Amino acid sequence: MINKTLERSVIVLSWAAASILVMSVAILLGFLFAKGLGTLSLKLLFGSTPPLAAITLRQQVFDGLFPAVAGTFLLVICSTITAIPIGIAGGIFMAEYAGIRQKAFFSLLFDILAGIPSIIIGLAGLSLTIFLHRLFPGRLGPSLMISALSLALLVLPYLIRSTQNALESVDPLIRLTAPALGASRIQNVVKVLLPNSMADIIGGIILAVGRCAEDTAVIMLTGAVAVAGVPHDPLSQYEALPFYIYYISSQYGSPDELASGYGAAILLLALCTCLLIFAFVIQKRLVTLLLYR
Amino acid sequence: MKKTKIRTRNICFQYHKKQILKNISVEFPKGEISAIAGPSGSGKSSFLIVLNRLWEEIDGVNVTGKVEIELNGQMQDIYSGRIDIRQLRRKVSIVFQQPNPLPMSIFKNVAFPLNLAGLKDRERISREVESALKKVHLWDEVKDRLKEDGRLLSGGQQQRLCLARTLVMRPEVLLLDEPTASLDARTAEAIEQLLIQLKSRCTIVMVTHYQDQIQRIADSHFEVVNGNLINR
Ligand SMILES: Nc1ncnc2c1ncn2[C@@H]1O[C@H](COP(=O)(O)OP(=O)(O)O)[C@@H](O)[C@H]1O
Ligand SMILES: [Mg+2]
């Protein structure tokens, strides 16, 4: 009797929790689209510049969001490309090679790193910029590269942890299979363990991509500015969507400007979605390539 | 006088300080099938992974004692520093109790050890895979679906797939953990015939529960009793 009641209430509670979650997402998206959908147009992206000329970089866009979209896109690509190899290698080290003591020590280190607020990472990036500026006067300042490096540092602990957990949770029988067939440790990692954990590792990468795309604190301190155009090299300053959203919502001059902030939010969401889909496709391809070729 | 293939001295096996096997000193003759019986949980599987050092890949296991195996024509201490562990596990190879196909195609599963050994010749790989699958009587069932995921096979087919994957390495010693447990009577008999054929090239140490199987194919018969291995 009691068991039945208990089971029923657990079911009801789970449903309630799930619907609250779904509803919050729906309300959030609904709100965003209600406020921003009206502004979505080529004009929001390119202003008065002809889109083709803007995309081919022949003409600068001064009154549209295209430079911010490009900036965020490049930023995410640069920071994840920096962080992914280091993160995966770190995860492999932690799961497969570290001794018990090393593991405990590095775990503590990564937990601390994961717990550092992004504004502090931003400050560290800023200090690095100032230091580099002293070393190479005039050439190095706040830039896309510094932001990308700082963001890479920010997401590194997630990548290491997700890789480590993915590797450690491979079925013990599968883990033993390749060594029993004469595989070296690294062969086991590359040919069996990594392909088997790819889905979980991609999960960590997706989290990292989202984190890089949305972070504002780090980039304001390390290179994002209100007007910069599309960055032409890694050492230039850049525009970014979250930074645009942040400053437009804190100092808009007209309701139209605020609405363009919502438009920017929708663009950011769309950009993240594209990157996620890209990550999924890569994962499928990689697994097929590694295991079924 | 029979030639000894495997000789153990005072093997002790611990899982997280719990003593599973103690002071096992036995010999297995070359070219014979030695059967190991015993209640479940008594340490039969544990004993097999002592013979190719596979326990070293498992956390919390500790083994002491000495194992000598005749490799390349002479008795060698497998725990000495001169032994290449990858080579050892190809020569002294195990088929687990639970089938463990990797999440890849049937063909790639069987070709996997060759791939690990660095063999590149595709034609030769195909030949070896086909001959191994024929030996375990699986070829006719899978020859048209070699590209399918190995995990989609039935339990008995998976077990034969794993046996084929081991045979393609041409081991000198074959360690089998209940090799016919999930096979129907006819396939089990076919596998028993295969094992008898293999004796000329291979020394077989086999864990089995079936008394009648021991009667039929085993040349010597051991039993795990209280952590010791006793010759019956
Ligand atoms: N991964 C493990 N961790 C701890 N104990 C284990 C593990 N695997 C097996 N054991 C223990 O070791 C003993 C022997 O196991 P095993 O060699 O598999 O026995 P058998 O093959 O004879 O059934 C059992 O008591 C089992 O509980
Ligand atoms: Mg067993």
ipTM value for the complex? 0.91
Cα of A53 vs centre of ligand 2, distance in Å, is 70
pLDDT class for A283, splitting at 50, 70, 90?
confident
Encoded amino acid at A209, one letter: V
- CA A277, A278, A284 angle in degrees (round to 5)? 90
Nearest CA in chain B to A193: B102
- CA A81 to chain CA centroid, nearest Å: 11
User: What is the assigned CATH class of domain A42-291?
Assistant: mainly alpha
Encoded amino acid at A180, one letter: A
Please list the residues that pair with B13 across neighbouring strands: B21, B63
Cα of B175 vs centre of ligand 2, distance in Å, is 12
Cβ(A215)–Cβ(A225) below 8 Å:
no
B184-219: pLDDT as tens digits? 888 888 889 889 999 988 999 999 988 888 988 999
Residue B73, phi-psi category: left (phi > 0), alpha (psi -120 to 50), beta (remainder): left
Give me the residues of B, 32-61, that contact A with CB < 8 A.
52, 54, 57-58
Distances (CA, A) of A99 to A18, A20, A95, B55, B178: 41, 44, 9, 17, 34
Residue A254: per-residue pLDDT: 87
Q: What is the CA radius of gyration of chain A?
A: 23
Please list the residues that pair with B203 across neighbouring strands: B173
Task: Tell me how far apart the alpha carbons of residues A202 and B106 are, in angstroms, rounded to a whole number.
Answer: 26
pLDDT class for A185, splitting at 50, 70, 90?
very high
Determine if ligand 1 sits within 6 Å of the CB of residue B227: no
Mean pLDDT of chain B: 92
Domain boundaries, chain A: 1-39, 42-291
Cβ(B195)–Cβ(B204) below 8 Å:
yes
Residue A230: per-residue pLDDT: 83
Encoded amino acid at B66, one letter: K
Which of B58, B103, B113 faces A182 most closely, judged by CB atoms? B113
Task: Tell me how far apart the alpha carbons of residues A109 and A101 are, in angstroms, rounded to a whole number.
Answer: 12
Residue A282: per-residue pLDDT: 84
Residue A91, phi-psi category: left (phi > 0), alpha (psi -120 to 50), beta (remainder): alpha
The secondary structure of residue B2, as a DSSP letter, is P
B136-189: pLDDT as tens digits? 999 999 999 999 999 999 888 999 999 999 999 999 999 999 998 888 888 888
A99-111: pLDDT as tens digits? 889 999 999 999 9
Task: Tell me how far apart the alpha carbons of residues B47 and B68 are, in angstroms, rounded to a whole number.
Answer: 14
Which of A173, A182, A195 faces B96 most closely, judged by CB atoms? A173
Task: Tell me how far apart the alpha carbons of residues B76 and A98 are, in angstroms, rounded to a whole number.
Answer: 31
Residue B105: per-residue pLDDT: 92
